[in-house]
Amino acid sequence: MNNLVSVVGLSKKIAKKQVLLGVSFQLEAGRVVGLLGPNGSGKTTLLKTLMHIYQADAGEIAIADEPLSFASKRFISYMPDHNALFEWMSVQDAIHYYRDLFSDFDSERASELCSFLEIDPQEKLGRLSKGMKERVLIMLTFSRKARLYLLDEPLGGIDPLTRNKIIKTILTGLTEECTIIIATHLVKDVEAFLDEVLFLHHGKLIFSGSADNIRSEHGKSIEEWYLEVYQNA
Ligand SMILES: Nc1ncnc2c1ncn2[C@@H]1O[C@H](COP(=O)(O)OP(=O)(O)OP(=O)(O)O)[C@@H](O)[C@H]1O
């Protein structure tokens, strides 16, 4: 099977700090991938580089067999780790904003997700709690029919009920044509539904592999394996 994402030798410096160094990995379509690592390990920087917000200093990135360029954004749906929308907007305004920006935006799906996630489209974003803002962002992200979904800490600081709804939304968004990358340090919260993992440590990829192999070859949960790999890094 062809790779949907190919990253070879990716390096990136920010403000003279080497944030990513020689990162290489390949991902097939139809996978949920955990981009895991402690605070400051480079997860957000890697997602922003895949989203073409940051330019790599070195390395090659290809998405769906095309070298990464500004045009790649047409098939990448990105959920940032904070609300990047305007506080004065209503949810409905945000839906219209996304619909105008992205030709793959599915308004019917947005409406279904608003119902499922119990989002009131008339509500102003500035008045929503953190958990409700996360629901709005996940609704917008998965209302697009993208090939690659990049989610930055989608479960950080939210209650278990909201977390379950967000996880269900992520899993119903998975098709054979797309891949979902979830950046998080909350390994336990995501490990049950990951197909692959990437472990980042001080900007280097110190482990990549399939979740099934970790369980069968090493006889460990992903969290146990994560702790062991980082203790020895
Ligand atoms: N704009 C910036 N200016 C200076 N340093 C930066 C900037 N952005 C990131 N860094 C540094 O790069 C490193 C990696 O940051 P990054 O946000 O990618 O890590 P992360 O794994 O996503 O962390 P977290 O889990 O805390 O969100 C950190 O040491 C951070 O301080």
Three state DSSP letters for the chain: CCEEEEEEEEEEEECCEEEEEEEEEEEECCCEEEEECCCCCCHHHHHHHHCCCCCCCEEEEEECCEECCHHHHHHEEEECCCCCCCCCCEHHHHHHHHHHHCCCECHHHHHHHHHHCCCCCCCEHHHCCHHHHHHHHHHHHHCECCCEEEEECCCCCCCHHHHHHHHHHHHHCCCCCCEEEEEECCHHHHHHHCCEEEEEECCEEEEEEEHHHHHHHCCCCHHHHHHHHHHCC
15 lines ligand 1 (CB under 6 A): yes
In a domain, 74, yes or no: yes
Residue of minimum CA distance from atom 7 in ligand 1 = 14
When pLDDT is cut at 50, 70 and 90, the band that residue 81 belongs to is confident
For the chain, the average pLDDT equals 94
| Residue 228, pLDDT score | 94
Residue of minimum CA distance from atom 2 in ligand 1 = 14
When pLDDT is cut at 50, 70 and 90, the band that residue 78 belongs to is very high
Residue of minimum CA distance from atom 31 in ligand 1 = 40
In a domain, 117, yes or no: no
Residue percentage of the chain with pLDDT more than 90: 84
41 lines ligand 1 (CB under 6 A): yes
Q: Please give the number of the atom of ligand 1 that sits closest to the Cα of 184.
A: 25
In a domain, 116, yes or no: no
- Identify which of 36, 44, 187, 189 to mutate to test ligand 1's pocket (most ligand atoms within 8 A of the CB): 44
Mean pLDDT, to the nearest integer, of 58-76? Answer: 93
Residue of minimum CA distance from atom 27 in ligand 1 = 39
Q: Which domain holds residue 215?
A: 3-85+149-232
| Residue 1, pLDDT score | 54
CA–centroid distance, 42 to ligand 1, in Å, is 6
Residue of minimum CA distance from atom 25 in ligand 1 = 39
In a domain, 101, yes or no: no
Say yes or no: ipTM exceeds 0.90: yes
Pull the structure tokens for residue 119: 């989002």
| Residue 36, pLDDT score | 97
When pLDDT is cut at 50, 70 and 90, the band that residue 56 belongs to is very high
17 lines ligand 1 (CB under 6 A): yes
Listed range (45-54, 58-67, 81-90) with the worst mean pLDDT: 81-90
Residue percentage of the chain with pLDDT more than 70: 100
184 lines ligand 1 (CB under 6 A): no
In a domain, 194, yes or no: yes
Residue range 187-225, pLDDT digits in tens: 998 999 999 999 999 999 999 999 999 999 989 999 999
CA–centroid distance, 93 to ligand 1, in Å, is 31
In a domain, 96, yes or no: no
Residue of minimum CA distance from atom 30 in ligand 1 = 40
Q: Indicate which CATH number applies to the domain containing 38.
A: 3.40.50.300
In a domain, 126, yes or no: no
In a domain, 134, yes or no: no
Residue range 100-145, pLDDT digits in tens: 999 999 999 999 999 999 999 999 999 999 889 999 999 999 999 9
The number of domains in the chain is 1
CA distance 138 to 213: 29
Residue range 138-191, pLDDT digits in tens: 999 999 999 999 999 999 878 888 889 999 999 999 999 999 999 998 899 899
